[in-house]
Amino acid sequence: MMRRPRPAARILLVDGRGRVLLFRFTPEDRPVFWVTPGGALDPGEDYPAAARRELREEVGLDMDCGPEVARKLAEFETVEGEPVIADERYFRIDVDACEVDPAGHTELERRVMQSWRWFTPAELAAHDELVFPVDLAEMLAGTGPGSY
């Protein structure tokens, strides 16, 4: 099966209590899963610009996302059902606290991404729904494959 390349910027948004923000996706054709904020690059956009745009659109924060801290290649089907090979670049942002403002969510996001929460490392380890990337805890600790 041919997979379309999908460059994407993802955000490791960590609060002052060491928790990471994840969004819960509820697609109709597969099990529920949780992911970090972020998404595909727009045409002509670089990874840092996409990270800033995604942070603004999905979380409501408009700020520089700092240096890239990890890179992963992942094969999956988008929620629209398109097979892709994603070149995901991760950016870590540490904030004291943050309330998510969903005003910038797209129609698709409003349909399949209706909730979010902050996870401690222990809550991530004990969570019974899928979390992507699967090695998120190691990435946050700076020890996972693909971490710089």
Band of residue 144 on the pLDDT scale cut at 50, 70, 90: low
Domain membership of residue 92 as a residue range: 4-141
What single letter denotes the amino acid at residue 117?
Answer: R
Could you tell me which residues come within 8 angstroms of residue 82 by beta carbon, excluding any fewer than 6 positions away? Answer: 4
Read off the pLDDT of each residue in 13-35 and give the average, rounded to a whole number.
Answer: 94
Residue 17 sits in a domain whose CATH number is 3.90.79.10
Q: Is 76 helix (H, G, I), strand (E, B) or coil?
A: strand
pLDDT at 143 over 80: no
* Residue pLDDT, tens place only, 99-135: 999 989 988 888 888 899 999 999 999 999 999 999 9
Q: Determine, yes or no, domain membership for 107.
A: yes
Over residues 61-74, the pLDDT tens digits come to 999 998 999 999 99
Report d(CA 4, CA 61) in Å as an integer.
Answer: 30
Q: How many distinct structural domains can be found in the chain?
A: 1
pTM, two decimals, is: 0.92
Q: Which helix (H) or strand (E) holds 104?
A: none
Dihedral sign from CA coordinates of 88, 135, 69, 51: positive
Query: What is the structure's pLDDT at 29?
Result: 87
Indicate whether 146 belongs to any domain: no
First to last CA, the chain: 31
CB 126, CB 28: distance < 8 Å: no
At 142 the pLDDT is 80
